[in-house]
Amino acid sequence: MSKRIDLHTHSIFSDGELLPSEIARRAQVLDHEAVAITDHVDASNIDSVGKIINAINDIRDNWDINVIPGAEITHAPVEVIDKLAVQARKLGAEIIVAHGETLVEPVLEGTNFTAVNIPEIDILAHPGLITVEEAEIARDNDIALEISSRRGHCLANGYVAKVAMEVGANLVMDTDTHAPEDLISYETARKIIKGAGIPDKEVHKILRTNPLNILGKNGY
């Protein structure tokens, strides 16, 4: 069985229920190779990226799991998403996620389009009814589109998968973990991907190849 990689989770440094160490331990028990802690940020709390790095240094040194500091730029004005992405990277975020236009939150229209045009961004999370044009730009800028296991965000999984496969954009499958029960095994992730209408031949690419490429791009 392949090991799981999850590049989108939240700890107590934003609205998650778990300490970074508990996210790492629960992920390790579920046979994860790597997990990114990507707490919500905007201009008010961008400095929390440094706190996340401090929190995970001991984990990285002592446990057999790669814990990666990151950030999810969330509900920010589209005019400042690029500035926040660059700032988060300078502060040490190694995975930059943009909070996409999910069906279940009032995300500002234009967020998807802005995010896929920003080179610092690695993943457009739960992008909802993303347009073909936006997916093409994401493809050209090597930004992955996310299939999500999180309640509500997953409602557009089938649509996101269809558009991404139509234009050849990369997909990843993340949990957007906020609570203990949100982390999932490789097998559960595989079933969610299949449930989105994605053929078997693409599953390994989405669960392993694409996230490994993102990690490689960022120095792992």
Please give the C-alpha separations between residue 186 and each of 1, 16, 199, in angstroms, as whole numbers: 8, 22, 16
User: E strand or H helix at 54, and its extent?
Assistant: helix 48-62
Instruction: Determine the angle formed by the axes of helices 157-167 and 132-140, rounding to 10 degrees.
Output: 60
DSSP 32: E
Largest CA distance in the chain: 44
SS3 196: coil
| pLDDT interval class at 55 (50, 70, 90) | confident
Structure confidence at residue 159 (pLDDT): 98
Residue 1 reports pLDDT greater than 80 = no
Number of domains in the chain: 1
**Shortest CA distance to 160 belongs to which of 130, 116, 199, 197?**
130
Among the listed ranges 8-22, 46-60, 106-120, 146-160, which one has the minimum average pLDDT value? Answer: 46-60
Whole-prediction pTM: 0.97
CB 65 within 8 A of CB 27: yes
- Cα(123)–Cα(138) distance, integer angstroms: 9
Q: The domain spanning residue 9 has which CATH number? A: 3.20.20.140
| pLDDT interval class at 197 (50, 70, 90) | very high
What is the span of the domain harbouring residue 113? 4-217
